[in-house]
Structures are given as C-alpha cells and as structure tokens.
Amino acid sequence: MRLLYGTTNKAKLATMEKITKPLGIELISLNDLEGEIPLVKETGKTPLENAQIKARTYYKFFHIPVFSCDSGLYFEELEDEEQPGIHVRRVNGRELSDEEMIQYYSSLAQQHDGKLTGRYRNAIYFILNETTAYSSMDISLATEPFLLVANPHKKRVEGFPLDSLSKDLVSGEYYYDLKTKDVSTSAMDEGFKMFFSMILKDIA
C-alpha cells in the first residue's frame, strides 16, 4: 500500500517509515511530488483538528490516500494560557528555527527551576478515499512523560530540536546519552502501528 504522508519534514518521514514499512506500507512525502504544494492554514484548536485540515487539503489537491499528523506539547508546571499546545514551533506569531526553539524552551525551563515535565499529545487523520477516513488522538499515540531542561545537549537532529533538551524522567539522563533507548522511538510507535494495522485489516 502506497500512502502520502502530508509532511516535508525528512526526520518525521524517516520515523514513520520505521513504523509502517514492516506493515507493507510504502510512504512518500510532499517532497516526492511534482508541482505546487498547497498552503495549509492550520486554524484548528487541537492537534486532531489540524491533522484533519492538512489531510483534507492534500487529498483534495492530490487525490491519493494521505495522512497527516499534528501534535501539542503540554507541561505539568504551566498554566493553561502558558501551554505551547499546538503552537510548539510558533511563538508570538513567528515560526522558530530549530536553534531558536532550543533557546526559547531552554529559557522557559530556566524560569521553572531548570526543568519542566512535558508530554506530547499526537493526532493522526487518514483519508483513504472520498467516503472513508480514519482518525485518532488516543493516549496510545502520546509520548511518555519526559523532562525538558535548560541546558541543551550538544547533539542536534534536524527537525527534532527539543530532543536536545529532553531527559529521561526516571534516570535523569539525556535521551541522547541513554544506552538502551533511541530518542527517535518511544511507546507511541506501537500506538501508530496499531492505528495502521487496524486500517489495513478494515480495508482488506
């Protein structure tokens, strides 16, 4: 099965390919398509609403099976009005670069004794055809809680800037320094695998 992943982020594509390839799913991204890529206005108030907006826009434009994802970042220590939520990369109406994100969130953690307890809530919206769509924002798609700290790790992975500020909640070690855990994988991978497995079973 060949699907369009509605993203231009190479790191996100690579991560999702690891999940879907064992299921017999071939992914392509917006970078693999010729011609203009439609501009999407992410006006939703939740990750699921934004994922739906993106998927519907790309399906209407390209007319092939497509899914889009979106996420929101939430910290236990912050009040509702302070939460990044779906605006993880956009601050004061401006899109931040990877390094600008590291600087901004490092400063935010510094304001709370050098660390925050965070978790990403993820959503996915998949359109098979004109009449069939699937969606989820189940807790199984969320990341495990982690610590976001003020002092960044020296390692950088393009597209995942906050990984440089992330530490394991139990050990207190940077994810990049853990010997038995890859920062690009987590319990949420199984949630996405279950989502796609359900779809494949349903359309078989």
* Marked catalytic residue, from 70, 168, 177, 202: 70
SS3 assignment, position 85: strand
SS3 assignment, position 26: strand
Please choose, from the candidates 53, 54, 74, 63, the residue with its C-alpha nearest in 3D space to the C-alpha of residue 9: 54
Residue identified by tokens 């992410």 is 42
SS3 assignment, position 193: helix
Q: Where are the beta strands (DSSP E) in 56-114?
A: 66-75, 90-91, 94-95
Residues 6+ away with beta carbon under 8 Å from 76: 116, 117, 118
The answer to whether 70 is a known catalytic residue is yes
Q: Where are the beta strands (DSSP E) in the chain?
A: 2-5, 26-29, 66-75, 90-91, 94-95, 115-127, 133-136, 146-149, 166-168
Residue identified by tokens 């497509």 is 66
SS3 assignment, position 143: coil
- Among all residues, which ones are annotated catalytic? 70
